[in-house]
Structure 1
Amino acid sequence: MTDSPTIWTKHFAAAGDQMIFMGAFFRNIFRSGFEWNELIRQSYIIGYKSFSLVGITGFILGFVLTLQSEPTLKAFGAESFVPSMVAISVIREIGPVIIALICAGKISSSIGAELGSMKVSEQIDAMEVSGANPVQYLVVTRILASIIMIPLLTLMADALAMLGGFAASNISNEVNIQLYFSKAFSALGFADLIPAVSKTIFFGFAIGFVGCYKGYNSDRGTESVGVAANSAVVSASLWIIVLDAIAVQLTSVFAYN
């Protein structure tokens, strides 16, 4: 019983620190001297260097989903609905969430470890002493790069998932590629694409923000670098699940209204 107030106090203090950190991020977006070159460099690191991992994940996702669903639909004589089912499943829900979780493991941990090592080696303190703005240079650029690149990576993974589904469909049957994609996209509309893309923007913010917060506020010890990286992955993954649940509820409300 005596530990409960202490635990709640720590949670509220951590929430307050995150709100202050978020406020510093938004304030520094519009300040003069924005680091455009660093934003481009971070977009390259976050986007291009994640291309192969995300691409392979997307292709396998569509491939396996088709292999698993095709026998069941074939038993009911609904084999022609496989392309539509794969397209709707991947683009609406599975693609954005899986790719965001993959990126949380790769990008958020990398940002947390990088900023944590800079904190330990006092590079961030040196930037503050020299008159530089570490929040604008280190935090704003990484979060904005995540917001920009995560939706693009998700769209690329969705396209490769459709190719993976087409490849899986051709294992047992010979399917015309034009017919396959016409059936796949005929089941989709802007009402499916816009919510899916919109929530990846929030996923990107969560991935970048959590990684920057955990690394920027890590302790001084050398072991804190690993703690920051691990904590960033866990927290970012949790936020992705929570944001996805909220997005699904909002989509359902607007769809039925």
Structure 2
Amino acid sequence: MFFTSFGKYLLLLKTVFKKPEKGSIYWKEIMHEMNSIGVGSLGLVAIISTFIGAVMTMQIAFQLVSDLIPNSIIGQINRDSSILELSPTISALVLAGKVGSSISSQIGSMRVTEQIDALEIMGINAPGYLILPKILAGITMVPVLVIISIFLALSGGLIGGALSGAVTPSDYIMGITGDFRGYTIAVALVKAFVFGFIITTIAAYHGFYVKGGALEVGQASTKSVVVSCIMILVADYVITALML
């Protein structure tokens, strides 16, 4: 069953990446999807990232109560944790639920109402027209959202640490600026790129091959979120093992 589904997934991707019939139509769809995925998810990612950064700062300060450990280490740990793991992975899991379910239900509804069949009858490459703009928007906007998430997580850590008294702003800023390695940003962006591809392609696959009616569309949407979350965690482990 796994190999059958994986084979259909690969064949769908092969069809998706065929040469577009008319580039201007695809460009318009890409802009629409970038707005939907990026701007539409910005508020949710911002709220989650800010509070996670604040909570992480307080928890790290609680764990590192020692006269031998400088307070600046709190900011350093929060910085590396946010860049390497929290911002890319948690943002991707949230987007898998919001964006993935939306893509799956949208394409699934078009399938059960025979709109996809109508596109194919007119000679349009339906997988390319419906899925390719979503993939390109996903691999573009998810890294952008992750960068914003990292900045807000560090800002939230500064605010949370200052308000709770866990760490002074000067010590926190010293921690997040000291011994910074730009390579960690590269790792985060690679993760974000892969996660964006996983979210959009798996959701589109489940929506494209749905059969039945409204009930099956809902089930496909739920299944796409579950599978996407699992694959995000698997990819997170593989990328971390290869790059760190």
Comparing 167-176 with 219-228, greater Cα deviation is found at: 167-176
* Whole-angstrom distance in 1 between the partners of 2:119 and 2:206: 18
Q: Quick check: 1:154 aligned with 2:146? A: yes
Q: Quick check: 1:142 aligned with 2:134? A: yes
- Once the two structures are TM-superposed, the CA of residue 223 in structure 1 deviates from its matched residue by 1.1
The structure 2 residue matched to 1:119, chosen from 111, 133, 151, is 111
Long gaps (5+) in structure 1: 1-9, 253-257
Long gaps (5+) in structure 2: none
Q: Compute the TM-score of the two structures, normalised by the length of structure 1.
A: 0.89
Question: What fraction of aligned residue pairs are identical, expressed as a percent?
Answer: 31
- Once the two structures are TM-superposed, the CA of residue 186 in structure 1 deviates from its matched residue by 2.2
Q: Deviations over 1:135-156 (max 9, x none)?
A: 2221000111111111111111
Partner of 2:89: 97
* Whole-angstrom distance in 2 between the partners of 1:41 and 1:160: 25
Q: RMSD in angstroms over aligned alpha carbons?
A: 1.6
Q: Quick check: 1:45 aligned with 2:36? A: yes
Correspondence 1:96-245 to 2 at 5 A: 96-173=88-165, 175-176=168-169, 180-245=172-237
Find the residue that maps to 2:190 and give its secondary structure: helix
**Which amino acid is the alignment partner of residue 56 of structure 2?**
L
**Which amino acid is the alignment partner of residue 193 of structure 2?**
I
Q: Deviations over 1:77-126 (max 9, x none)?
A: 42221111100011011211111100001111110011011111111111
- Aligned residues of 1:62 and 1:165 also touching (Cα < 8 A): yes
Find the residue that maps to 2:65 and give its secondary structure: helix
**Which amino acid is the alignment partner of residue 31 of structure 1?**
P
* Whole-angstrom distance in 2 between the partners of 1:36 and 1:211: 21
Q: Deviations over 1:142-193 (max 9, x none)?
A: 111111111111111111001110011112437346x633430323212211
- Once the two structures are TM-superposed, the CA of residue 251 in structure 1 deviates from its matched residue by 1.3
Comparing 182-191 with 208-217, greater Cα deviation is found at: 182-191
How many residue pairs were aligned?
240
Q: Compute the TM-score of the two structures, normalised by the length of structure 2.
A: 0.93
